[in-house]
């Protein structure tokens, strides 16, 4: 949440001449409602079920850069689809940096609480082992210009002969 997945993803997709897809935006487009509304109506469990179906579909596409929600790793089906069907990049950032980037964003249901910093710390503690396990490449994004992050990913994709 707030690591720069959409920003980096769009720039990388442009550089690769691929399509850029944000799985959360796809879910919103298909349902006609926002992610916070889905959380309100169906709860997090309902949203995660929609997310599993979306990740399964999107990871079967070719020539796409896919940005996922931060919680995608919490479901084994998502981890399997992402690992087996693509090159996974973990944009790593400190909790402090994520707090700064998300503090005014009302479109993040899990952070609509009295203590968003603690929520981010708890989420990071729970999710980071999965992020690290899944990642083909880990890039520290804290205080790194976005174009440098994109170049690092592009260079690694070339090195791995993926592009």
Q: How far apart are CA 12 and CA 27, in angstroms?
A: 22
Assess whether pLDDT exceeds 80 at residue 123.
yes
Tell me the per-residue pLDDT of 67-110, one tens digit each, with 9 for 90 and over.
998 899 999 999 999 999 999 999 998 877 777 766 655 666 56
Q: What percent of the chain has pLDDT over 90?
A: 73
State the average pLDDT over residues 135-157. 95
Q: Which residues are annotated as a binding site for Mg(2+)?
A: 6
The full set of domains in the chain, from first to last, is 5-159 (3.40.50.300)
Q: Which residues are annotated as a binding site for substrate?
A: 24, 48, 70, 127
Provide the whole-model pTM: 0.87
Q: Burial of 56 by CB count in 10 Å (0-12 exposed, 13-18 middle, 19+ buried)?
A: middle
Task: Give 118's pLDDT tier (boundaries 50, 70, 90).
Answer: confident
CA dist 89 and 85 (Å) reads: 13
Q: Distance between CA atoms of 117 and 126, rounded to whole angstroms?
A: 14
pLDDT the model gives residue 143:
84
Mean pLDDT, residues 135-140 taken together = 96
Given this model, what pLDDT does residue 115 score?
A: 76
Binding-site annotation: residue ranges: 2-7, 24, 48, 70, 108, 127
19 HSE (CA, 13 A, CB side): 10
pLDDT digits (tens, 9 = 90+) for 40-69: 999 999 999 999 999 999 999 999 999 998
Confidence of residue 33 (pLDDT cuts 50, 70, 90): very high
Annotated binding site for ATP: 2-7, 108
pLDDT of residue 37: 94
Within 10 A of 95 (CB to CB), how many other CB atoms are there?
A: 17
């Amino acid at each position: 949440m707030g690591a720069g997945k959409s920003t980096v993803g769009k720039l990388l997709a442009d550089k690769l001449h691929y399509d850029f897809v944000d799985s959360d935006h796809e879910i919103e487009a298909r349902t006609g409602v926002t992610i916070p509304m889905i959380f309100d109506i169906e709860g997090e469990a309902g949203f995660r079920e929609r997310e599993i179906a979306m990740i399964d579909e999107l990871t079967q596409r070719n020539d796409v850069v896919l940005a996922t929600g931060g919680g995608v790793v919490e479901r084994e089906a998502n981890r399997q689809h992402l690992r087996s069907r693509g090159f996974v990049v973990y944009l790593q950032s400190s909790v402090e940096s994520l707090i700064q980037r998300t503090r005014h964003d009302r479109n993040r249901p899990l952070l609509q609480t009295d203590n968003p910093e603690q929520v981010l710390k708890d989420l990071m503690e729970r999710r980071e082992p999965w992020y690290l396990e899944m990642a083909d490449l880990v890039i520290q994004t804290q205080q790194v210009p976005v174009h440098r992050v994109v170049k690092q990913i592009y260079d690694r994709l070339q090195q791995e002969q993926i592009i």
